[in-house]
Amino acid sequence: MPEQQNQQQEQEQDGAPETYEYIVVGAGTAGCVLARRLSEDRTHRVLLLEAGRPVPAEPDPVPAPAAWPSLLGTAADWGDTTVPQNTGGAPIPWPRGRGLGGSSAIGGMTFLRGHRSGCDAWPEGGAKGWGYDDLLPYFKRSENVTGVRRRDPASRGTDGPLRVAPAARRHRHPLAQAFLAAAVQAGHPRACDLAAGLETGFGWADLAIADGARQDAAGAYLRPVLGERTNMRVITDAFVQRLLLDETGTSPRCTGVAYTVADGTPPEDTPAEDTSAEDSPQHAAPSRTARCSPGGEVVLTAGAVGSPRLLMSSGLGPREHLEDIGITAHLDLPGVGGNLQDHVVSGVVYRSARPVPESENNHAEVQGLIRSDPHATTCTAPDLQLGIADLPVRAGGLPGPGPGAGYTIVVALLSPYSRGTVRLADADPATPPSIDPCYYADHHDLDLMTAGLRAAREIGMAPALTLWRGEEELPGRDIADDEELRAYLRRNLHSAHDYAGTCAIGTDTDAGAVVDTELRVRGVEGLRVADASVMPTIVSANAEATVYAIAERASDLLTH
Ligand SMILES: Cc1cc2nc3c(=O)[nH]c(=O)nc-3n(C[C@H](O)[C@H](O)[C@H](O)COP(=O)(O)OP(=O)(O)OC[C@H]3O[C@@H](n4cnc5c(N)ncnc54)[C@H](O)[C@@H]3O)c2cc1C
């Protein structure tokens, strides 16, 4: 694989400039899907550019699923942090994948579609054609649940590239089994197939693990076809700095991209015909270019941070912000980088009364989707996700048991009210972006999470967990009233890493919309976004399964 990459890089450098029907930026979850699907028609030349390396942990072996946290902070992670949050002041780590497979190659492998109510809210907000039923064929097309019990082929895929299944019975964690029983004892329904997005309650989550190995987008979608698709070129270590824009027409047209390659070879100069947008400081850096053939398109799949970052570096974004940092705005797109959403996470940490065995899976085998107010009649969509972690999950600096001595009932907020931003720190495209998720900026989020802690405690005290339950270490039994619980939530805060919303789908009348319902960037020709950033609102569970479906759908929109 690395050999093939190098060969491709040499061809790019030495050969005559080539053009492509599709240039896909970012080989993460969505980018691998797009590259594979778009290159199925062998007459289409497809270029996939990825800033990271071919194999996430190369030269080390890719770790077993349970060791996934060890990937964070490595070369496979951009290693971002947020700006200080209103939660005690500390920045929060914001890992995101960098390498073939992107975040699917370093993530936690929980594979849930999110409850259908999450997607069904999209058309109501203007994203016509993006409801759960519209996405269902694409959810199915991405996955393969062949052989898994209690999976209905009407709602689940049986021949997609990605093999997913719950933890195999003989490898299930005993604590997860006890937790599931405890949730039912606490009065929650038992879900049969939580991953389908049609049920609430608690059940075994599907995991992107097959035969004991991680299933990521590169392994499932890209590697199986790399050798046979001569019309697809993949270049790694290729950081796309900006989009090439032709502004001679009535609206700007994206004609290609400029990128640098971190392989030590000298870059080419940008050809004269592509200089129309080169009046801002970051454009002075020499770089390679890749251009679209007539009618070709650039597709951004750089993720909810990378895609808005690249748009803004190219002068497509909120005019005021761009001008503040010295970038000429080629188009005022106020929504770019706004509307940032994430699932905020906290939980109740227990010291275990017995040693906690090591996980053979992803540390999070059982999940639950619940409603904070079980008596609500107007809205029954789940707004909290509760799950078991066979590890103590706590922010650095907080006391508590070490691995093997504790466990956590994790609480995640599914439908946050708070909205954040991704902004450029300066005009240099290589400067890490400024990420402000604005956790708990809206007080409703703290109220919902407080209800979540109470629900977690109820399950934690159920008889099925008696043999495991030691002291409640965090927040601690004495922390009982709402004010104290809110203070704890601010102290013990994590990201679920489901970043979304920064290039949202919407209508022309929606000033915050960045792409239309066919994922075309508004006001620009030849440019689409097709990753987690297009979600108008974050989905009601972990995001990856939905990103696969969005990318599958995008490939149809591009080719039909
Ligand atoms: C640590 C972690 C754990 C997670 N756990 C889970 C989980 O258990 N279950 C779940 O459902 N979801 C999980 N997620 C979320 C899920 O992985 C993401 O929602 C999903 O992968 C996003 O897909 P994407 O294609 O939008 O972006 P990504 O997969 O992040 O891909 C973006 C790609 O673009 C590349 N890129 C960015 N900028 C540039 C540029 N300028 N030039 C070239 N390349 C560029 C990046 O290097 C990356 O490879 C997790 C995420 C993380 C980070």
CA separation for the pair 141, 221 (Å, rounded): 12
**Distance (Å) from CA 280 to ligand 1 centroid:** 29
Is 266 a residue whose pLDDT tops 90?
no
* pLDDT band at residue 525 under the 50/70/90 scheme: very high
* pLDDT band at residue 282 under the 50/70/90 scheme: very low
Residue 103 Cβ < 6 Å to ligand 1: yes
* CATH number, domain containing residue 196: 3.30.410.40
**Distance (Å) from CA 222 to ligand 1 centroid:** 15
**Distance (Å) from CA 338 to ligand 1 centroid:** 18
Residue 544 Cβ < 6 Å to ligand 1: yes
Q: Which of 313, 340, 544 to mutate to test the pocket of ligand 1 (most atoms within 8 A of CB)?
A: 544
Host domain of residue 181: 167-204+344-413+440-492
| Dihedral of the alpha carbons of 293, 297, 302, 306, in degrees to the nearest 10 | 100
**Distance (Å) from CA 96 to ligand 1 centroid:** 5
pLDDT tens digits, one per residue of 496-507: 999 999 999 999
Please check whether residues 408 and 485 belong to one and the same domain.
Answer: yes
Residue 475: cis peptide before it, omega within 30 degrees of 0: yes
pLDDT, position 270? 33
pLDDT tens digits, one per residue of 21-63: 999 999 999 999 999 999 999 999 999 999 998 764 454 567 7
Instruction: Please indicate, yes or no, if residue 185 is contained in any of the structural domains.
Output: yes
Residue 51 Cβ < 6 Å to ligand 1: yes
CA separation for the pair 57, 80 (Å, rounded): 18
Q: Are 195 and 367 in contact (CB under 8 A)?
A: no
* CATH number, domain containing residue 47: 3.50.50.60
pLDDT tens digits, one per residue of 111-169: 999 999 999 999 999 999 999 999 999 999 999 999 999 999 999 999 999 999 999 99
Please check whether residues 459 and 472 belong to one and the same domain.
Answer: yes
Please check whether residues 306 and 455 belong to one and the same domain.
Answer: no
111 CA: nearest ligand 1 atom: 11
**Average pLDDT value for residue range 236-244:** 96
**Distance (Å) from CA 356 to ligand 1 centroid:** 30
83 is in an annotated binding site: no
Task: Tokens for 87, please give them.
Answer: 């939660």
Instruction: Please indicate, yes or no, if residue 155 is contained in any of the structural domains.
Output: no
Closest to 48 measured CA to CA, from 216, 214, 313, 229:
229
Instruction: Please indicate, yes or no, if residue 255 is contained in any of the structural domains.
Output: yes
Please check whether residues 248 and 353 belong to one and the same domain.
Answer: no
Residue 26 Cβ < 6 Å to ligand 1: yes
* pLDDT band at residue 4 under the 50/70/90 scheme: very low
Q: How many domains is the chain built from?
A: 2
Residue 98 Cβ < 6 Å to ligand 1: yes
Residue 49 Cβ < 6 Å to ligand 1: yes
Q: Quickly count: other Cβ atoms within 10 Å of residue 182's Cβ.
A: 25
Please check whether residues 51 and 16 belong to one and the same domain.
Answer: yes
Residue 107 Cβ < 6 Å to ligand 1: yes
Instruction: Please indicate, yes or no, if residue 103 is contained in any of the structural domains.
Output: no
**Of 79-88, 113-122, 270-279, the least confident:** 270-279
Can you tell me the ipTM of this complex?
Answer: 0.99
CA separation for the pair 242, 256 (Å, rounded): 9
Is 466 a residue whose pLDDT tops 80?
yes
Instruction: Please indicate, yes or no, if residue 370 is contained in any of the structural domains.
Output: yes
Please check whether residues 375 and 470 belong to one and the same domain.
Answer: yes
Q: Which of 32, 100, 104 to mutate to test the pocket of ligand 1 (most atoms within 8 A of CB)?
A: 104
**Distance (Å) from CA 183 to ligand 1 centroid:** 31
Instruction: Please indicate, yes or no, if residue 137 is contained in any of the structural domains.
Output: no
Residue 52 Cβ < 6 Å to ligand 1: yes
**Distance (Å) from CA 279 to ligand 1 centroid:** 31
pLDDT, position 263? 60
CA separation for the pair 362, 549 (Å, rounded): 22
Residue 77 Cβ < 6 Å to ligand 1: no
pLDDT tens digits, one per residue of 354-380: 999 999 999 999 999 999 987 776 677
